[in-house]
Amino acid sequence: MSCLLLSRLSRLCLRKPPALGVRGRYFCGSRFLSQTPIYRIVRADDCRYSSEDVSVGRLVVRNVNASEEKDEVLEKMVPADLMNGTIGGSHGWVATMDEYFVRLYDDLNPGASDSDPKRIVLGRPKTLPHCQTELVTNVAMSSSPEDEDCILAVKFLGPQLSFCRPAQQIRGYVEWVNIRIDDPCFFSSRVSYSERYKMFSMLASGGTYIGYWDPEKKDRSQNLSVCRSDLYTQFNQFEMQHTSNDCRSELLVEGPTGETFIVNWWAVFFRRFMVYKIDEYMGIHTASFTKDIGDVCIFVSSKGQPFCLKASLYGLTSNCIYYVSDRVSGKVSIRDNVIVGRLGRSSAPYFIPPQSS
């Protein structure tokens, strides 16, 4: 189909593209020894006021890699506000926003320092005419915000998409670049980062096409045509009558070897998932329904940036989706949509991906 991506989406030119080199890792058995396990944030326990008159509590997590998942109460103290006051998370960091600032925290990362947590305070993006910056769809980052070339993207509900380099703030100044998106198909979309294309991407509502923004070259954008002809063919009549588009999340996620998946997530009624794999042939991109993604597992959350891992490297269940929201969470088999494990709900719905130790 003919796909139109706004030229304005590409009118942002930052100095150079993100450098996402692979860090040194040492393989032993089924995991990389230099990386931490995958954690799911559960809650903060024993909350009390600290010496700074800020409510803090002990971080409670679950190790997703463990053979028997159970709550682990850590000695690590975290701000209680981070349990319900975040606007998104990426690369083990979470973000908050108030009237004046966007703040990045590594407090919820179990592997981060307890005594010396890292916080990055950024000025709030300017609101473009006829846009709003009160409601945030999500945030995404190209890498850790401590990296010199990291780019942070904040997607607001509606037309505005804002970018900055957090490392500039560490040096004392940060500049936001704000883009107004004219195509309403992107107004409720979530932004993500594609390591394959080195660009930020957004899936249009309905999954009919994907918009890409290139931070390196001015006036360059790319649109991939995506065929979704079999979107609802796997639904029975009862599900079609009782499933609303309002409770569906459409997520774009890249696999560990560069493949791209679209995940449809109905979280309210059925906790139903449908996965589509995007294939490319002679420049044509099609999304085909699949029940088998191989030795891969997908992590999705209602606020965090989704990610994929090679299951056998981390002792995880292959061909599964691990999911968490403020209402439900668990693990589901992509092959038959059967829940094969339950993780419990979370007030801070985030997975912390493996971190270099």
3-state secondary structure of 53: coil
Strand partners, 218: none
Write the pLDDT tens digit of every residue in 8-38. 333 333 323 333 222 333 333 444 445 788 9
Residue with tokens 């390591």: 195
Share above pLDDT 90 across residues of the chain, in percent, rounded to a whole number: 46
Which range of 13-22, 227-236, 270-279, 296-305 scores highest in mean pLDDT? It is: 296-305
Q: Which residue has the tokens 């109460």?
A: 73
Contact of 137 with 157, CB cutoff 8 Å: yes
The pLDDT of 180-195, averaged and rounded, is 92
Count of Cβ atoms closer than 10 Å to residue 133 Cβ: 18
Is residue 150 within 8 Å of 18, Cβ to Cβ?
A: yes
Among 297, 210, 303, CA closest to 252: 210
Measured CA distances, 349 to 69, 108, 179, 255 (Å): 16, 11, 28, 21
8 Å CB contact between 40 and 61? yes
Q: Are strands 284-290 and 272-281 parallel, antiparallel or unpaired?
A: antiparallel
Ranges assigned E (strand) in 291-335: 296-301, 307-310, 320-324, 329-333
Confidence of residue 137 (pLDDT cuts 50, 70, 90): very high
CA–CA gap between residue 189 and residue 127 (Å, rounded): 18
* Domains of the chain (ranges, CATH numbers): 39-352 (2.120.10)
In angstroms, the CA 231 to CA 313 distance is 32
d(CA 244, CA 224): 27
- Summary mean pLDDT of the chain: 80
Dihedral through CA 121, CA 154, CA 285, CA 293, nearest 10? 60
Largest CA distance in the chain: 62
Alpha-carbon distance of 76 to 59, in angstroms, equals 6
On whether the CB atoms of residues 342 and 96 are closer than 8 A, the answer is no
Determine the 3-state secondary structure of 170 from DSSP: helix
For residue 98, what pLDDT is reported? 93
Residue 241 has pLDDT above 80, yes or no: no
- Quickly state the pLDDT bin for 268 (edges 50, 70, 90): low
Residue 108: helix, strand or coil by DSSP? coil
